Amino acid sequence: ETGVTQTPRHLVMGMTNKKSLKCEQHLGHNAMYWYKQSAKKPLELMFVYNFKEQTENNSVPSRFSPECPNSSHLFLHLHTLQPEDSALYLCASSQVHPDGGYTFGSGTRLTVV
């Protein structure tokens, strides 16, 4: 596989469920990111990992918990979400200095019911 792979593509979960989103990159990049895209809003940065260390948490509620076990894998653990958390969650990767831009995964479309 090449590029950035995200699973699952679609997820419907109840407010009391616990689920995880997975991201894997095969590009040899050292930085990975979680972004949230809600309808009619710009992409919102959630978390940044450089060399598997978290370097930014953009005031994200604790019901979102990231995990980066190595430079190629990134998870987003979800628990007790709210309906307003329904959105497209995008993973991206880059070199640590992303002067070449990011490569995005296809995203997970999350619906909280």
Task: Enumerate binding residues for other proteins (CB under 8 A).
Answer: 31, 33, 40-43, 45, 48, 50, 55-56, 88, 90, 94, 96-107, 109
CB 79 to other proteins: min, Å: 25
Helix (H, G, I), strand (E, B) or coil at 52: coil
First CA to last CA distance, the chain? 33
CB 62 to other proteins: min, Å: 21
Residue 73 or 79: the one with the smaller Cβ distance to other proteins is 73
